Amino acid sequence: MESSTFFNIFAGLLVFPALLLLQFAPLNVNAADADPLQDFCVADLTKDLYLNGYPCKTPAAVTTDDFVFDGLTAPAQTNNSVGASAILADVDTFAGLNSLGLSFAKLDFAKGGIIQPHTHPRASEIIYVVKGTLYAGFVTADNKLFARVISKGEVMIFPRGLIHFQLNVGDAPAQAVVALNSQSPGFQTISSALFGSNIKDEVLQKSFLILDQKTIDRLKAIFSGSK
């Protein structure tokens, strides 16, 4: 056997198993905020730059106050149409979170109040009930509901991007805190996205099947803020 033929056969025996390993090896995909490249990167919210995130303050300009947020000390407003609201500590309100891949929020509920069905396109969420009783849950991509009543001291997880909600089913006000694994998780309420975004009426009528024009107009007025 010629040496070149022997070499080709030998090389093939080495390469073939490697190709099999590559085919079946799991791929590592970064599906959350990127890892920081330094100890911290306090957002410089004064810069007029459009980036995926925010530029950093120079380290010499950073102070301890950049890592402290007092925006959650007051209760969130519940005197509104849904009887609930949230105060969010994300990078836009708490610059020290920049590049750290997390944010935080406090939810307050009047009796019967609801955080309407919504999504966070860039984050998963975990909720901790501080007081009261909530009916909370999420809906998967194949429309399976995972929901139950959770009470003081219990936690529940809402996977990234899935529609979820919280409803106060107790006899008194309720409060919860949530953590999310993005500095900018995003918040999109389903009802407002559909009826408050100026989608063509025909799309809504054909999607919901039974909505007449009067109902469409009414819902658009509510969720667009015009009424």
* Pairing, β 174-180 against β 188-189: unpaired
Give the count of beta carbons closer than 10 Å to the beta carbon of residue 38. 8
Confidence label for 216 from pLDDT (cuts 50, 70 and 90): confident
Q: Report strand pairing: 163-168 vs 133-139.
A: antiparallel
Token pair 């025996």 in the structure block, residue: 13
Percentage of the chain exceeding pLDDT 70: 81
pLDDT at 27 over 70: no
Residues 75-132: tens digit of each pLDDT: 999 999 999 999 999 999 999 999 999 999 999 999 999 999 999 999 999 999 999 9
- Of 142-156, 179-193, 200-214, which one has max mean pLDDT? 142-156
| β-sheet bridge partners, residue 86 | 107
- Tell me the pLDDT tens digit for each residue of 132-173: 999 999 999 999 999 999 999 999 999 999 999 999 999 999
The reported pTM is: 0.77
